[in-house]
Structure 1
Amino acid sequence: MSLLVKMTLTAALVLSVAVPFGAFAAGERTKGRYKTALAVNLLMFFGTLAFAAVLMFSGNAMAAEGAAAAGKASAAGMGYLSAALSTGLSCLGGGIAVSAAASAALGAISEDSSILGKSLIFVGLAEGVCLYGLIISFMILGQL
């Protein structure tokens, strides 16, 4: 990938974080302001992600390489992408599950402390989802 493309993507990612929160920093602190900043941040982030995907899959970034090398690099890139997605999405789901299970467990423990062991089992099961995603990503990376 050329230096210009790398610099453009770096600048776009930095601006996707800096612009929304920097532009809405002054003024009254209301809930609507934070929602607007979050919406602009998400729009810029996913726009940058779409731009990077177009560059990655267009083939122009690897025009100097041969067709076989480009195909192999594309397959390896898809493998790395799938490993990252399996880890990231499983950890996201595990985090959501742990937040629900742990808050319910804390409420139950505050009423009856004898159920601590039972509640920790449910929190551990929710954390297991993250480990399964990590194991799958190691298996994917082992095939590359």
Structure 2
Amino acid sequence: MNIWLGTIPIFLLATAGAVVLLQRRRRSGLTLLVVVNVAIMAGALALVTVALTAGPASAATEMATAPPTGSGGSALIAAAIAVAGSSIGASFAVAYTGSAALAAMSERPEIFGRAMVVVGLAEGIAIYGLIIAIILIGKA
């Protein structure tokens, strides 16, 4: 069983306990919950600090002697960048062309078809990025 699924009952019990505590002792219960939250936050910050200042793991030396497995990870990162960049570019293009098309259609409703073609061409940018990502993943 996944560890995260196992913690769901614990979180539900903690939430129910917090609700009961706040109903019975409103002021002192709130103070207690704030103190518990601050303690959990301090523990999380300490854990992050230890993780960021830790040295390399012992498996890193074994990985250094292993032969390289290829550039599959780089191709996946490049595919993600291609999809993200093309999607962001398409969103800007659709935003500008869509607002201009709506403004033009409000004055002349008969140009609906031509305006939608321009918006569709702007959406094609995202499809091109997706095609590039598929090609890159295929080569990974």
TM-score (norm 1): 0.53
Residue 61 to residue 89, structure 1, CA distance change in 2 (3 Å): farther
1:132 and 2:108 correspond: no
> Displacement, 1:141?
0.4
Letter in 2 for 1:64: E
CA distance in 2 between partners of 1:119 and 1:61 (Å): 58
CA distance in 2 between partners of 1:107 and 1:61 (Å): 61
Letter in 2 for 1:107: A
Alignment of 1:1-144 (within 5 A): 62-65=60-63, 66-68=65-67, 71-72=68-69, 75-144=71-140
> Displacement, 1:62?
4.4
Superposed CA offset, 1:69-93 (max 9, x none): xx325x1111110000000000000
After superposing on structure 2, the runs of 4+ consecutive aligned residues of structure 1 that deviate more than 4 Å are none
Give the count of matched residue pairs: 85
Q: Secondary structure at the match of 2:62?
A: coil
Letter in 1 for 2:137: L
RMSD between aligned alpha carbons? 2.4
Residue 67 to residue 106, structure 1, CA distance change in 2 (3 Å): same
Q: Secondary structure at the match of 1:72?
A: coil
Residue 110 to residue 143, structure 1, CA distance change in 2 (3 Å): same
Residue 6 of structure 2: aligned partner: none
Residue 111 to residue 64, structure 1, CA distance change in 2 (3 Å): same
Q: Unpaired runs of 5+ in structure 1? A: 1-57
TM-score (norm 2): 0.55
Q: Unpaired runs of 5+ in structure 2? A: 1-55
Residue 119 to residue 67, structure 1, CA distance change in 2 (3 Å): same
Q: Percent identity?
A: 36
